[in-house]
């Protein structure tokens, strides 16, 4: 897919703006005058004159931006974030001399990717910079260090951080003799290996940590802002060649502490593979809690539970889940897109983000990122909508203060807030054939209702082909909190993108609102009561 197929667009100059930065967008493929309308949680806060694409200084927060023609048509949308700590993770795997650096930076701007993982950029796992200016990586992919540096600079200009991939305990055949005394062994005495080209060693041995810390420190000179620190999820315990028992979770915590001391200003993101050992490493000095999932984390509910548990121990750090959508390799794009939408809806609605997109226009289907899948134009359009939605509604999706209250607010027993559908049942856990309904409370006393439409699905697997989604229409009912009605807004990433107001009617002790048709996911915001009195 050529970048031309992104169509008319307004592209923010940066994936995220620091407070005090001038916010601006770049119009592409638009052949008529347009103004910019800027929205914050559904409210219009700024409007430019036609031709003005510089928005000046915006207060810290998240905003939706629409390009509107002189006759009032919306021809493009985007979103921007000023300040903030959320992490929207992407990847890059092409480091050859002819790599199109600008196209990869454009994707970071387009999808607001704050951090980019440089996957397999290094010469060798135990010798990151030993290949000189041009070399082949361990699996024979071409690398030019000048391209790596150019990518780092391009991402920095685009407002994204560059993280160099590194396995924390992998040693290749060419370096094995140096480190074989630190190898971790199976009960039969054979070494733990990844395939036939990497041997696993104790990541916390002082000799390795001294070498590894130096190697990472030197790699910062390439232009990286930090590192993605990888492991394989096994072994969890093993014996070194000298007979020493190794609790690998303890080794990881020691390693992370040592690397933070060695690299005090580097961004460090460690892979807690399949949630191992998150309960041990969460308190370690890492800048995000990142988890790559495998079975038995197979359902949407598994993803939701993982995100919820991790947020409780994240101490305000972002939570990122890597869930490979291999469905793109086996199913038509529309079916795979629907699967990806369910995955994102489940994660975003539970306060986590998803590592999925990267390169110039590809999605991850496999742990070897080089085998990523090209985006169809329909996939690209969908992902732009959903990432815009994530950014614009960050406050409602990723804020630390959000607390689930479904069990105390919804259902007839509570009768405080709920949504009913004609011909469809709701559930407070993801269930095939139902609308998954969740209620979250903000620190301002507002309530966010998430509605995920599983009515047409026969299972809740997150990496499986999905059938088309039929829309259903819901009715929101809210117990009145006083003599005035609440404000009800609804947003849908596939239907306009921003919050729109719903008409609210009062009936006795309750207020009701008919919601727009529900596709895959709706976010309903029920705000504190308005100050004006109810109609007579």
What CA–CA distance (Å, rounded) separates 2 from 194?
A: 36
* Start-to-end Cα distance in the chain: 58
> Residue 152, by phi and psi: left (phi above 0), alpha (psi -120 to 50) or beta?
alpha
Does the pLDDT at position 5 exceed 70?
Answer: no
Q: Is 404 helix (H, G, I), strand (E, B) or coil?
A: strand
Q: How many CA atoms lie within 13 A of 139 on its CB side?
A: 13
**What are the structure tokens assigned to 164, written together?**
């160099």
Contact 450, 426 (CB under 8 A): no
Residue 388 DSSP SS3 = helix
Q: Is residue 186 part of a domain?
A: no
**Residue 3 predicted with pLDDT over 50:** no
Same domain (yes/no): 317, 427:
no
Does residue 119 sit in the same domain as residue 258?
yes
Q: Which of 82, 109, 134 is the last residue of a domain?
A: 82
Q: To the nearest whole percent, how much of the chain has pLDDT over 90?
A: 94
Residue 322: count other Cβ atoms within 10 Å of its Cβ: 19
Tell me which residue of 384, 87, 57 sits closest to 225, measured CA to CA.
87
The set of residues, in sequence order, having a beta carbon less than 8 Å from that of 507 and lying 6+ positions away, is none
pLDDT by residue (tens digit) across 447-488?
999 999 999 999 999 999 999 999 999 999 999 988 889 999
Q: Does 25 lie in the same domain as 151?
A: no
Question: SS3 letters for 106-119?
Answer: HHHHHCCCCEEEEC
CA 490 to chain centre: 22
Angle between helical axes of 333-348 and 377-392 (0-180°, round to 10): 10
Q: Between the CA of residue 358 and those of 11, 345, 375, what are the distances in Å?
A: 17, 19, 10
- The SS3 assignment for 178 reads helix
Domain match, 71 and 110 both: no
Mean pLDDT of the region 394-418: 94
Q: Are residues 99 and 78 in the same domain?
A: no
102, 154 Cβ separation under 8 angstroms: yes
Q: Are 143 and 123 in contact (CB under 8 A)?
A: yes
- Residue 259 φ/ψ, nearest 5 degrees: -70, -35
**The domain that contains 113 carries what CATH number?**
3.20.20.80
Token pair of 69, please?
């023609």
| pLDDT of 534 above 50 | no
Q: Tens digit of pLDDT for each residue in 101-117?
A: 999 999 999 999 999 99
Question: Within this chain, do residues 417 and 318 fall inside the same structural domain, yes or no?
Answer: no
Ramachandran area for residue 215 (φ above 0: left; ψ -120 to 50: alpha; else beta): alpha
The sheet carrying 245-247 orders its strands as 184-185, 237-240, 245-247
Two tokens at 235?
A: 């072994």
Is 231 part of any domain?
yes
Does the residue 320 lie in any domain?
A: yes
Angle (CA) 341 346 349, round 5°: 110
Residues 27 and 139 in one domain: no
Residues 282 and 424 in one domain: no
Last residue in a domain, options 47, 82, 117:
82
Instruction: Show contacts of 205-209: CB within 8 Å, 24+ apart.
Output: 205/240, 207/182, 208/169, 208/179, 208/182, 209/255, 209/258, 209/259
CB count within 10 Å of CB 47 equals: 12
3-state class of 163 per DSSP? strand
| Residue 116 domain flag | yes
- Same-domain pairing of 157 and 299: yes
Task: Give residue-wise pLDDT tens across range 177-189.
Answer: 999 999 999 999 9
pLDDT for 531 equals: 54
Question: With bands split at pLDDT 50, 70 and 90, how would you rate the model's confidence at 532?
Answer: low
Is residue 255 assigned to a domain? yes
Residue 297 to residue 273: CA distance in whole angstroms:
11
For residue range 6-53, what is the model confidence (pLDDT) as tens digits? 789 999 999 999 999 999 999 999 989 999 999 999 999 999 999 899
Q: With 60 as the cut, is the pLDDT of residue 535 above it? A: no
| CA-based R_g, the chain, Å | 24
Binned at pLDDT 50, 70 and 90, residue 195 comes out as confident
Of the CA atoms within 13 Å of residue 275, those in its CB half-sphere come to 15
pLDDT for 429 beyond 80? yes
Question: Tell me, what's the pLDDT at 330?
Answer: 96
**Residue 175 maps to a domain:** no
Looking up residue 429, the CATH number of its domain turns out to be 2.60.40.1180
Q: Are 376 and 334 in contact (CB under 8 A)?
A: no
**417 and 319 assigned to the same domain:** no
Q: What is the pLDDT of residue 2?
A: 47
183 Ramachandran zone, left/alpha/beta (phi>0; psi -120 to 50): beta
Question: What average pLDDT score do residues 219-242 get?
Answer: 96
Determine, yes or no, domain membership for 270: yes
Residue 288 structure tokens: 């995000």
Instruction: Tell me the sheet residues that pair with 499.
Output: none
Domain that holds residue 414: 403-527
Written in H, E and C, the secondary structure of 213-248 is HHHHHHHHHHCCCEEEEECCCCCCEEEECCCCEEEH
DSSP-assigned beta bridge partners for residue 67: 36, 76
Specify whether 362 is located in the same domain as 279: yes
Asked if 373 and 399 count as a contact pair (C-beta separation under 8 A), the reply is: no
Q: Let me know: does 107 contact 361? Beta carbons within 8 Å.
A: yes
Q: What is the mean pLDDT of residues 294-320?
A: 97
Whole-number pLDDT of residue 536:
41
- Retrieve residue 24's tokens: 């601006």
Q: Are residues 45 and 153 in the same domain?
A: no
Find the length of the chain: 536
Residue 107 belongs to a domain: yes
The residue behind tokens 């699905």 is: 457
Which residues are CB-contacts of 258 (< 8 A; sequence separation ≥ 6)?
204, 209, 213
Domains in the chain, number: 3
Average pLDDT, the chain: 95
Alpha-carbon gap, residue 124 to 368, rounded angstroms:
16
| Residues 332/366, Cβ–Cβ less than 8 Å | no
The domain that holds 23 is classified in CATH as: 2.60.40.10
pLDDT band at residue 243 under the 50/70/90 scheme: very high
Bin 508: left if φ > 0, else alpha if -120 < ψ < 50, else beta: left
| SS3 state of residue 477 | strand
Helix/strand/coil for 334: helix
Q: Token pair for residue 168?
A: 């924390």
């Amino acid at each position: 897919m050529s970048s031309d197929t992104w169509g008319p667009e307004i592209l923010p100059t940066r994936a995220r703006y620091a407070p005090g930065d001038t916010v601006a967008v770049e119009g592409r493929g638009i052949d008529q005058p347009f103004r910019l309308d800027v929205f914050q949680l559904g409210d219009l806060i700024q409007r430019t004159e036609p031709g003005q694409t510089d928005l000046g200084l915006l207060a810290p927060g998240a905003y939706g931006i629409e390009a509107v023609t002189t006759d009032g048509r919306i021809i493009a949308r985007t979103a921007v974030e000023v300040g903030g700590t959320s992490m929207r993770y992407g990847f890059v795997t092409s480091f050859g001399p002819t790599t199109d650096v600008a196209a990869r930076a454009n994707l970071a701007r387009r999808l607001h990717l704050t951090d980019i993982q440089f996957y397999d950029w290094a010469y060798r796992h135990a010798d990151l910079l030993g290949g000189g200016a041009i070399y082949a990586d361990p699996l024979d992919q071409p690398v030019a260090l000048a391209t790596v540096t150019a990518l780092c600079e391009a991402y920095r200009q685009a407002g994204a951080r560059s993280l160099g991939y590194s396995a924390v305990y992998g040693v290749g055949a060419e370096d094995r003799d140096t480190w074989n005394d630190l190898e971790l062994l199976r009960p039969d005495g054979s070494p733990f290996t990844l395939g036939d080209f990497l041997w696993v060693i104790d990541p916390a041995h002082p000799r390795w940590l001294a070498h590894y810390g130096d190697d990472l420190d030197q790699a910062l000179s390439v232009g990286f802002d930090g590192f993605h620190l990888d492991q394989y999820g096994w072994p969890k315990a093993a014996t070194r060649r000298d007979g020493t028992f190794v609790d690998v979770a303890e080794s990881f915590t020691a390693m992370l502490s040592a690397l933070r001391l060695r690299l005090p200003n580097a961004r460090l993101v460690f892979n807690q593979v399949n949630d191992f050992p998150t309960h041990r490493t969460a308190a370690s000095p890492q800048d995000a809690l990142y988890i790559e999932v495998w079975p038995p984390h197979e359902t949407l509910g598994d993803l939701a539970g993982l995100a919820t548990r991790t947020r409780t121990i994240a101490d305000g750090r972002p939570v990122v889940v890597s869930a490979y959508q291999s469905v793109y390799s086996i199913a038509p794009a529309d079916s795979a897109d629907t699967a990806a939408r369910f995955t994102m809806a489940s994660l975003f609605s539970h306060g986590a983000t998803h590592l999925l997109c990267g390169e110039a226009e590809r999605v991850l289907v496999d742990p070897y990122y080089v085998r990523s899948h090209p985006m169809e134009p329909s996939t690209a359009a969908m992902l732009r909508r959903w990432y815009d939605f994530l950014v614009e509604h960050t406050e409602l999706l990723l804020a630390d203060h959000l607390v689930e209250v479904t069990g105390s607010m919804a259902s007839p027993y509570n009768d405080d807030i709920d949504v009913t559908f004609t011909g469809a049942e709701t559930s407070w856990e993801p269930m095939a054939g139902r609308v998954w309904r969740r209620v979250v409370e903000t620190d301002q006393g507002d309530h966010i209702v998430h509605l995920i439409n599983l009515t047409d699905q026969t299972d809740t697997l997150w990496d499986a082909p999905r059938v088309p989604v039929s829309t259903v229409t819901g009715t929101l009912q809210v117990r009145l909190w006083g003599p005035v009605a609440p404000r009800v807004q609804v947003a849908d990433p596939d239907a306009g993108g921003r919050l729109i107001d719903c008409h609210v009617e009062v009936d006795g002790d309750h207020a009701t609102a008919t919601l727009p048709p529900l596709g895959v996911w709706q976010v309903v915001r029920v705000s504190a009561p308005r100050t004006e009195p109810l109609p007579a």
